[in-house]
């Protein structure tokens, strides 16, 4: 029988922790919805922030900590949840879902956070790809280049480009988003979103 190497186990544990952190990144989305709890009719809620693992809601009715509810969220559908704590204007929950469904929620949140800002249509075939949606990227000197979105995430995007790609470190804008070019590809480039950076 093969004996596990302690160093290898530690490395795997660190990798899994990093993956969990990425999957549970909280984002702010203006999603409406409703929820059901024992002994009550449908109650309305608004998402304050959300990740694939849980969410904070604004609601007039606050279930007790430990209570299980069923949520119906716009663009995400039905989710079972356990109330973690009340908040000043609502309550926070953790979702009770399989790992597979949590992954699908993460994919959908990634898409919802990006498609409007990048000017893409809300159609997806592969969960983590934008299906070649067109995008106009404005370079630091004002030139606009025709691109196609090939991949998006909560923190950045990758594009194929017609013509020379922006250089690494250049600040570009795509729709309402600002980003820094972090690497060039054979026929394109990738950016990292910059928050709080105004257009020049």
Residue 7's pLDDT band, with cuts at 50, 70 and 90, is: very low
- pLDDT at position 116 over 80: no
State the average pLDDT over residues 123-130. 41
Q: pTM for this structure?
A: 0.51
- Token pair recorded at residue 177: 């988003």
Q: What is the pLDDT of residues 59-104, one digit of tens each?
A: 999 999 999 999 988 878 888 999 999 999 999 999 998 888 888 8
Which domains occur in the chain, in start order? 1-114 (2.40.10.220), 119-193 (2.40.10.220)
The residue assigned the tokens 């009550």 is: 40
Residue 132's pLDDT band, with cuts at 50, 70 and 90, is: low
């Amino acid at each position: 029988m093969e004996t596990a190497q302690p160093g290898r186990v530690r490395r795997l544990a660190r990798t899994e922790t990093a993956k969990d952190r990425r999957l549970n990144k909280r984002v702010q989305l203006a999603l409406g919805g409703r929820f059901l709890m024992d002994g009550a009719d449908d109650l309305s809620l608004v998402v304050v922030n959300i990740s694939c693992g849980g969410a904070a809601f604004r609601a007039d009715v606050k279930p007790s900590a430990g209570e299980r509810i069923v949520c119906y969220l716009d663009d995400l559908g039905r989710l079972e949840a356990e109330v973690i704590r009340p908040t000043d204007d609502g309550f926070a929950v953790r979702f009770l879902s399989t790992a597979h469904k949590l992954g699908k929620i993460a994919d959908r949140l990634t898409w919802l956070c990006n498609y409007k800002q990048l000017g893409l249509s809300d159609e997806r075939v592969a969960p983590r790809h934008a299906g070649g949606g067109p995008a106009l990227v404005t370079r630091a000197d004002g030139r606009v280049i025709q691109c196609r979105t090939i991949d998006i995430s909560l923190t950045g995007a990758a594009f194929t480009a017609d013509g020379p790609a922006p250089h690494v470190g250049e600040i570009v804008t795509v729709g309402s988003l600002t980003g820094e070019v972090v690497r060039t590809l054979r026929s394109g480039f990738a950016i990292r979103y910059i928050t709080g950076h105004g257009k020049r």
